[in-house]
Amino acid sequence: RYREDNQEDFALMASEDPAARLALAISQGSASLDGLDRAYYRAGIGQEESKALMDLLLDQGRVVALNDRVALSRQALDKLGQKTSLLLERFHKTRPLEGGMRREELRTRLLPRAPLLLSDLVIDRLEAGGILDSKEGLVSLRGYEIALSAAQEAALAELEALFLEAAFTPPGPEEIPIKDNKEVKSDQLLSLLINRGTLVRLTPQILMHRDKVEEAWLMVQKAIQDEGSITLALFRDQLEASRKFAIALLEYFDRQKRTRLTGDVRVFY
């Protein structure tokens, strides 16, 4: 069968149909997302006729342009769509409480050797084609919604209450007392609270409830308004928390461009 396919391809490349030759050349380069210049060369297409032939193939739906330099066959894009659907179905099955797979993870799994720009454009085409939804760096199957059971809802409420009560000394992920079982996974519950904006990631290891982060900001804001600046020591005392959490909050406010460090004090950005 492989030999027959090759013979058909050779015959097509030798034909007098330039559109068919170009469609084949694009198809052969689709797996590696080859540039159109290479397809034109392989198909023996001159610059003077390239645009008209490309427009014809686009109008016929035989190829899909990623940008003005790269295109792939419709069949190749459909196969990538099928692969994407399988990847996301497996992800949603194993991590049902997460809003979706990280976009960079999908890029790596779908097109591991492709340049970032091109793999992103493929994902954009799949989104436009109704395969997936993309939001805030996460990709999910089109229309996917998180559905919580009663046990999961209860565990989620318990987890949020835990962070509210802990205030400015929140537990680390490994310190959460909720026991995992078949239905409740604490790491997925944490991801859900982060994705909803309920928990704020101050550092890779420190999560804090958004209400407490905002409460801490009001302390910083008042101190700077009253005194012109705030020190780490004063802020730590106001929080009644350890230096670790005080630093994490202040550096978070710096990244948010609410404050900046000047010498040993923070002032408004």
> What letter represents residue 17's amino acid?
D
For the chain, which residues make up each domain, given as ranges?
2-69, 75-141, 148-269
Q: Which fold has domain 75-141?
A: Arc Repressor Mutant, subunit A (1.10.10)
Burial degree of 162 (CB within 10 A; 0-12, 13-18, 19+)? middle
Cross-strand pairs, 258? none
Nearest partner of 200 among 219, 214, 184, 221, judged by Cα? 214
d(CA 200, CA 76) in angstroms, rounded, equals 40
d(CA 25, CA 101) in angstroms, rounded, equals 33
Residue 1: which pLDDT band, with cuts at 50, 70 and 90?
very low
Task: Note whether 75-141 and 148-269 share their fold.
Answer: yes
> What letter represents residue 203's amino acid?
T
d(CA 217, CA 235) in angstroms, rounded, equals 10
CATH number assigned to the domain covering 148-269: 1.10.10.10
Q: 8-38 in b/e burial notation, b at 16+ Cβ within 10 A?
A: eeeeeeeeeebbbbbbbbbbbbbeebbebee
Residue 205 burial (CB count, 10 A): 11
Task: Write phi, then psi, for 134 (nearest 5 degrees).
Answer: -130, 125
**Three-class secondary structure of residue 163 per DSSP:** helix
Strands 101-102 and 138-141, by their bridges, are antiparallel
pTM, to two decimals = 0.76
**pLDDT for res 9:** 64
Residue 14: which pLDDT band, with cuts at 50, 70 and 90?
low
pLDDT tens digit string along 112-162?
999 999 999 999 999 999 999 999 899 999 999 999 999 999 999 999 999
Average pLDDT along the chain:
93
pLDDT tens digit string along 41-99?
999 999 999 999 999 999 999 999 999 999 999 999 999 999 999 999 999 999 999 98
d(CA 139, CA 244) in angstroms, rounded, equals 34
